[in-house]
Amino acid sequence: MVTAAHNASMSSFDAIDIHRPDLARSYLALLASQPGRPLALFAPRRVGKTWFLDHDLAAAGREAGLLPVYADLWLNRSAPLEAINHALEEALDDLAVPPGTVGRLARTPVRKIGALGASVDLGEPPRRRNLPDDPALRFDALAVRLALEHGGRVLLMLDEAQSLGEQARGADLLATLRAVLHKRQDQVEAVLTGSSQEGLARILSAVGTPMYQFAQLLTFPVLGDEFLVRLTDRFAEVHQGRAPRLDDLRGLFARIGCKPALMRDIVKVMSAEGETDPQAGLAHFMADSRQVAGWQALLNSLDAFERCVLTAVAQGLPPLGKETRARLAALPGVSPSLAKVRTALERLKRAGLLTRSGHGLALEDELLATYLGATR
């Protein structure tokens, strides 16, 4: 049953945003204390890295006189340096014509009126030497030009930077990045994020020097009680004071890998059903046909071999172990060599489904792991 009250409660759960300006300022202080050296923030997927860059770090950067520039390297895996350059160029355009103004023409003074008033040339923005075409040189030139035009440092935010390591040209790219960040330390500060600790460590150590010399690797903190308190408060508002216990919510949040959007979705389901027990809420959420359909679609995008490997990992089996390979051997037309299993693991990691955790591999999505674990 969907009532107006339920609709109101849905949207108000969505409005819960947790800002962390102090965390952002602490990162900026770290950057300022070691010029030329980027920070590399690691946290699993969907815990809020991008949201933080976008809302909190960019805002704190602007407050400190920096010009934030964001590039998503995961979305541009085939051409990361071009993606960085594109972001810098957009920022340069925005400086020339701030977004929201009528347009370039409106701001450009008319320079020359023909003697008879017949020809009107609209003034061009001052032209500089063209930027180099070579992406590495272009990156360097853009960093300098942007800082100059802005009149302060650029805060370059490279999201999902571990994808740099998945490149054929990865080592060259990283060498460029490192050289520019070092040479242009008066112009640029950089924050990298990564959702694969392994991937991030790989790129940071691939630069030819130990990673601690290139970037400072930090664990990005997940949201804390503040978020959960806001959820319970909102729940109580909607349900005349009845709400899940904070302690129970803490357990659930940890259980789902501290993913705020997922947590909000589960609490919305609980609220719609008036359910205050997170265990029951989670069970309802997982049984929801949309949820199951989503997992099925994901599984269907894999081949049978990968699906079998993923399921084995979800059930806690060593992926290269005997039992896993016996299961794989049962698939029609498959010879499960170790090399084939390794390739499948690699593909599952790249797809973001598997991640290194502690000593072994684990599913990135805890709920999918539970779902697969239950459909043995």
Ligand X SMILES: Nc1ncnc2c1ncn2[C@@H]1O[C@H](COP(=O)(O)OP(=O)(O)O)[C@@H](O)[C@H]1O
Query: In sequence order, which residues have a C-beta less than 8 Å from that of residue 37 and are 6 or more positions away?
Result: 31, 181, 214, 215, 216
**What's the CA gap between 122 and 106, in Å, rounded?**
10
Contact status, residue 269 vs residue 281, Cβ threshold 8 Å = yes
Closest approach, Cβ 193 to ligand X, in A, equals: 7
46 binds ligand X (CB under 6 A): yes
According to CB under 6 A, which one of 50, 163, 271, 355 is a site residue for ligand X?
50
234 binds ligand X (CB under 6 A): no
244 binds ligand X (CB under 6 A): no
Q: Where are the alpha helices (DSSP H) in 274-318?
A: 278-287, 289-300, 304-314
Going residue by residue from 22 to 51, which x/- string records binding to Mg ion, judged by CB under 5 A? ---------------------------xx-
Total residues binding ligand X (CB under 6 A): 15
According to CB under 6 A, which one of 37, 49, 234, 268 is a site residue for ligand X?
49
**What's the CA gap between 119 and 8, in Å, rounded?**
60
* 157 vs 180 by CB, closer to ligand X: 157
* 246 vs 261 by CB, closer to ligand X: 261
- Measured N-to-C along each axis, helices 170-183 and 80-96 cross at an angle, to the nearest 10 degrees, of 40
Residue type, 93: D
* 69 vs 147 by CB, closer to Mg ion: 69
230 binds ligand X (CB under 6 A): no
Query: In sequence order, which residues have a C-beta less than 8 Å from that of residue 323 and are 6 or more positions away?
Result: 312, 317
Residue type, 152: G
The phi and psi torsions of 228 (rounded to 5 degrees) equal -70, -35
Closest approach, Cβ 49 to Mg ion, in A, equals: 5
Closest approach, Cβ 366 to Mg ion, in A, equals: 18
**CB-based closest residue to ligand X:** 48
CB atoms inside a 10 Å sphere around CB 129: 7
18 binds ligand X (CB under 6 A): yes
Closest approach, Cβ 59 to ligand X, in A, equals: 12
Nearest CA-CA partner of 165 in 360, 350, 36: 350
What's the length of the chain? 376
> Residue 281 binds which one of ligand X, Mg ion, none, with CB within 5 to 8 A depending on kind?
none
Helix (H) or strand (E) holding 263: helix 260-273
* 41 vs 328 by CB, closer to Mg ion: 41
Contact status, residue 188 vs residue 147, Cβ threshold 8 Å = yes
Q: Is the dihedral of CA 308, 309, 310, 312 positive or negative?
A: positive
According to CB under 6 A, which one of 38, 48, 199, 278 is a site residue for ligand X?
48
> Residue 45 binds which one of ligand X, Mg ion, none, with CB within 5 to 8 A depending on kind?
ligand X
Residues 89-108 that bind Mg ion (CB under 5 A): none
> Residue 131 binds which one of ligand X, Mg ion, none, with CB within 5 to 8 A depending on kind?
none
Going residue by residue from 187 to 206, which x/- string records binding to ligand X, judged by CB under 6 A? --------x-----------
* 178 vs 259 by CB, closer to ligand X: 259
Residues 246-265 that bind ligand X (CB under 6 A): 260-261
According to CB under 6 A, which one of 13, 27, 42, 51 is a site residue for ligand X?
51
How far, CA to CA in Å, does 303 sit from each of 13, 294, 321, 330, 333? 38, 16, 20, 15, 13
According to CB under 6 A, which one of 5, 17, 21, 63 is a site residue for ligand X?
17
47 binds ligand X (CB under 6 A): yes
Nearest CA-CA partner of 205 in 184, 178, 183: 178
Helix (H) or strand (E) holding 19: none
Binding site for ligand X (CB under 6 A): 16-18, 43, 45-51, 195, 223, 260-261
